[in-house]
Structure 1
Amino acid sequence: MRLTFLGATHEVTGSCFYLEACGKHILIDCGMEQGRDTFENQELPIPAAGVDAVLLTHAHIDHSGKLPMLYQQGFRGEIHATGATSALCDIMLRDSAHIQMAEAEWRNRKGKRSGEKAYVPLYDMEDALSTIRMFVSHEYNEKFELFEGIEVRFTDVGHLLGSASIEIWVTENGVSKKIVFSGDIGNINQPLINDPQYIKEADYVVMEATYGDRNHEPPPDYVSELAKVIQETLDRGGNLVIPSFAIGRTQVLLYFIRQIKEEGLIKGHDNFKVYIDSPMAIEATNIYEKNIFGYFDKEAMDLIEAGINPIKFPGLKTAITSDESKAINFDDEPKIIISAAGMCDAGRIRHHLKHNLWREDSTILFVGHQAEGSLGRII
């Protein structure tokens, strides 16, 4: 057994590990680097066609974003993940391909005037769609034989719907070893999804450490803090604009806002409107609703058994087309606008910032990490 670290060793994005065992070549994650590119990922030491399988911890692009490029370069094996991860990658990889193609079109249009060499995207939509068809879904805690001498199990780690640590048992030449890839481990007591399920033994552990360089304070009362901001903004007659990541963070916000509405924590603004202005976030929310059993925690399941959808409520509106997005700013009523991208570097959020940043009665509320160099961090 031999393990090579290809990405996310000096930085926290671009996760990719290469495992050689039992004559097979396996990748654990195949992520895209995001934000400032301080350290270049190592090249895969074999042709992509030589990779036998990929094991995927979760759907975020810094763990899955280069899978279509791997396909484009010749990979034709299976991609193993949980069912929810497979479903989320369907939208994540299509969206990533769209971004790649749009950036190439913009660069080539701009570069044509100066005679620059044509820019080729990392991959296109056909590569993404072909990659999506290669996914094989598994349940949590289902131990399966990947290849002779190699067994695998996905364990819930509460980071994102479907996220997992991956346990791998390798038996070679009569010797058995267990290696664990932690993936991104979530915090406890998060809404909707289960708390991390801990793995108690392994011979080797490859640990992600995105937030391992800081002490974590007890979390605030998110519901009361959010309700306070909503109340103050609506009282001023302004809009509460929230740049939010389409998958994970948006659904948590909907969960909190549903609770705020249900408990009547906002006074004087009955049935205030909440817009989700992100086609990707809307698709992701639909996937959350279809992947309840085995993924949602007890609190969320109790609501569902009582006939309550934990992420839907009166006053929730969606904007899919660009015309629907633009129309939001012609609605004079005070409202909440949840829009992607979470770091404000692209997407419809920039449109809403343009219409609201200058308004003294409006609020821009950041609910996620803003990487160095991002527009969100600058604001």
Structure 2
Amino acid sequence: MKLQFLGAAGQVTGSMTLIHFENLKILVDSGQFQGTPKEESLNFEELPFLAKEIDYIILTHAHIDHSGRIPLLVKRGFNGKIFCTQPTSHLAEILLKDSGKIHETEAAWENKKRERAGLDLIKPLFTEDEAVESFQYLYPLPYHMPHQLNPHFSFTFIRAGHLLGSSSLILTYKQDNKTMTLAFSGDLGNGTNLLELPPETVNFADAIVVESTYGGRLHTDITTRAEKLVDIILEATSHNGTVLIPSFAVGRTQEIIFELNNFIKQHPDERGARLKNIPIYIDSPLALEATKIYESHISFMSPAVQNFSGAPFKMDNLHLITSIEGSVGLNHNPHPKVIIAASGMCEAGRITHHLKHNLWRKNTHLVFIGYQAEGTIGRQILDGTKSVKILDVDVTVGAKLHDLHGFSGHADESHLLSWISSVKGLKHIFVNHGEESSRDALADKIKDFEKAELHLPELGETYTI
């Protein structure tokens, strides 16, 4: 078997691994590169295979950094099955459709500038219609049921605990009359997300490909994350301020809604009563669509959600913004409030407009609840820049900043090491999906307890196992 790493090698986006086995060519994930212009330009580069030669895609979860090149491959000739769990298929549809719309909008914006400059026009990576075209290839499968692709190769999805429907992947294949196992961690949750069941472990594997997003780092304040968020909201609104929460529309937004809803239920005291009267706005059409999918897949979620008294994702003080006019109106609303809007790294979407109008204000509180990739606006703000360019305008950073690691959807270093240490029989460990410093830190810790051969693949590198 050969593995070729075509994304997320020394970075956290663009996940794509090509597997060659006998006459099969299989992609594990097909994600977009996100972050700096240099990283995003990788989406337009030619791949070292013809899309029509790929037999199958196995999708670990719906996030765009894992699914976002699927329409591009279909556009270029892929017509095989895309295996995933049922929730992943539904979430991937809304995410890919939204991504196509964004690519069209960005290309149109760029082409206006190019026309004025007399430059050649560009085409979007893919369009909304091309995204919809790819949905016909999604093929949902249940967890824990082996699926045979040829007489010598099968795979099984197990829970990863990162996002609704997210999976780790166990591949079983016969090579030289031996049964071998290769496991992909996918993106692992940390077991504390109130919506998700905890990640499942792999008992035995000859080789694993493991993510390293938070290598070298530990999440803090996990048990007090809801309390800290509520304290921030109460402090900001007591000074007539606005709380801005850049949030991934799929997963993190639903988690925040449930955490706040659960806090109100669990705290019928003064803080709970005050929180109940503070208007909370979800300003993301995509988040509204995702929430409907969450509501229809309660059976895939944790007992905390399944046993919740009432509707998990509805509150009396929760307002859903469906129009552009409603979104614009929030920035002319002088009253204290909470605005939750995409994108999670502040690179696009409605959060950019709210930052433009509020980031400079001293009584604004900006709360980061997820990973901020290198080069993104969110990362620049977190790293202490005094001014940041948003929508072609330089905006002073005057807001109070908060980085709540406890809400991260990723396993931290301790969780990653625990997941790896549960796997017996390892001969190869591929540390992937992390910035170089994170991969190096995790690899150093793995050396302390594992004798397996350790690999830190570079983009395009091929290994034989």
TM-score by length of 1: 0.93
User: In the alignment, residue 334 of structure 1 is paired with which amino acid?
Assistant: P
1:57 paired to 2:60: yes
User: In the alignment, residue 108 of structure 1 is paired with which amino acid?
Assistant: N
User: In the alignment, residue 363 of structure 1 is paired with which amino acid?
Assistant: H
User: In the alignment, residue 224 of structure 2 is paired with which amino acid?
Assistant: D
Q: 2:291 aligns with which of 285, 294, 297?
A: 285
2:338 is aligned to 336
Q: 2:321 aligns with which of 319, 325, 329?
A: 319
- Structure 1 pair 140/329, CA: closer, same or farther in 2 (3 Å)? same
Post-superposition Cα deviations, 1:109-136, rounded to whole Å, max 9, x if no partner, equal: 1111222122122111222111112100
- Contact 2:342–2:350 under 8 Å retained in 1: yes
1:299 paired to 2:301: no
User: In the alignment, residue 102 of structure 1 is paired with which amino acid?
Assistant: T
User: In the alignment, residue 273 of structure 1 is paired with which amino acid?
Assistant: P
**Take 2:76 and 2:115, find their aligned partners in 1: how far apart are those partners?**
27
2:22 is aligned to 22
- Structure 1 pair 314/105, CA: closer, same or farther in 2 (3 Å)? same
1:167 paired to 2:173: no
**Take 2:151 and 2:81, find their aligned partners in 1: how far apart are those partners?**
15
1:249 is aligned to 252
Structure 1 residue 224 displacement after superposition:
1.2
- Structure 1 pair 215/224, CA: closer, same or farther in 2 (3 Å)? closer
CA RMSD of aligned residues (A): 2.0
Which consecutive residues of structure 1, in runs of 5 or more, have no partner in the other structure?
none
- Contact 1:22–1:148 under 8 Å retained in 2: no
- Structure 1 pair 268/159, CA: closer, same or farther in 2 (3 Å)? closer
- Contact 2:157–2:167 under 8 Å retained in 1: yes
1:9 paired to 2:9: yes
User: In the alignment, residue 313 of structure 2 is paired with which amino acid?
Assistant: I
Structure 1 residue 87 displacement after superposition:
0.7
User: In the alignment, residue 4 of structure 1 is paired with which amino acid?
Assistant: Q
2:403 is aligned to none
- Contact 2:14–2:31 under 8 Å retained in 1: yes
User: In the alignment, residue 327 of structure 2 is paired with which amino acid?
Assistant: S
User: In the alignment, residue 260 of structure 1 is paired with which amino acid?
Assistant: F
- Structure 1 pair 223/243, CA: closer, same or farther in 2 (3 Å)? same
- Contact 1:250–1:281 under 8 Å retained in 2: yes
- Contact 1:22–1:172 under 8 Å retained in 2: no
Post-superposition Cα deviations, 1:184-239, rounded to whole Å, max 9, x if no partner, equal: 11102211111101111111111121112334446240121111111111211222
- Structure 1 pair 257/325, CA: closer, same or farther in 2 (3 Å)? same
1:87-106 map, 5 Å = 87-106=90-109
**Take 2:275 and 2:5, find their aligned partners in 1: how far apart are those partners?**
53
Post-superposition Cα deviations, 1:122-177, rounded to whole Å, max 9, x if no partner, equal: 11122211111210001111212233322111000101111101111112564322
**Take 1:28 and 1:194, find their aligned partners in 2: how far apart are those partners?**
23
Between 24-33 and 39-48, report the one with greater CA deviation. Answer: 39-48
2:282 is aligned to 276
Between 26-35 and 265-274, report the one with greater CA deviation. Answer: 265-274
1:193 paired to 2:199: no
User: In the alignment, residue 193 of structure 1 is paired with which amino acid?
Assistant: E
1:119-138 map, 5 Å = 119-138=122-141
- Contact 1:33–1:62 under 8 Å retained in 2: yes
2:35 is aligned to 35
- Contact 2:61–2:67 under 8 Å retained in 1: yes
2:397 is aligned to none
User: In the alignment, residue 315 of structure 1 is paired with which amino acid?
Assistant: N
Structure 1 residue 102 displacement after superposition:
1.1
**Take 1:199 and 1:370, find their aligned partners in 2: how far apart are those partners?**
29
**Take 1:269 and 1:129, find their aligned partners in 2: how far apart are those partners?**
40
- Structure 1 pair 34/270, CA: closer, same or farther in 2 (3 Å)? closer
1:372 paired to 2:374: yes
Between 169-178 and 1-10, report the one with greater CA deviation. Answer: 169-178
- Contact 1:223–1:259 under 8 Å retained in 2: no
1:69-108 map, 5 Å = 69-108=72-111
- Contact 1:167–1:179 under 8 Å retained in 2: yes
TM-score by length of 2: 0.77
Higher relative contact order (CA 8 A, sep 6+): 2
Aligned length: 375
Structure 1 residue 320 displacement after superposition:
1.3
- Structure 1 pair 271/218, CA: closer, same or farther in 2 (3 Å)? closer
Post-superposition Cα deviations, 1:18-45, rounded to whole Å, max 9, x if no partner, equal: 1112311111111111113469588543
Structure 1 residue 266 displacement after superposition:
4.0
Q: 2:236 aligns with which of 233, 236, 239?
A: 233
Q: 1:207 aligns with which of 205, 210, 228?
A: 210
**Take 2:278 and 2:217, find their aligned partners in 1: how far apart are those partners?**
38
2:420 is aligned to none
SS in 1 for 2:48: coil
1:110 paired to 2:113: yes
- Contact 2:192–2:222 under 8 Å retained in 1: no
**Take 1:366 and 1:156, find their aligned partners in 2: how far apart are those partners?**
26
- Structure 1 pair 12/229, CA: closer, same or farther in 2 (3 Å)? same
Post-superposition Cα deviations, 1:280-318, rounded to whole Å, max 9, x if no partner, equal: 11111111111111x211222221xx4x22222111110
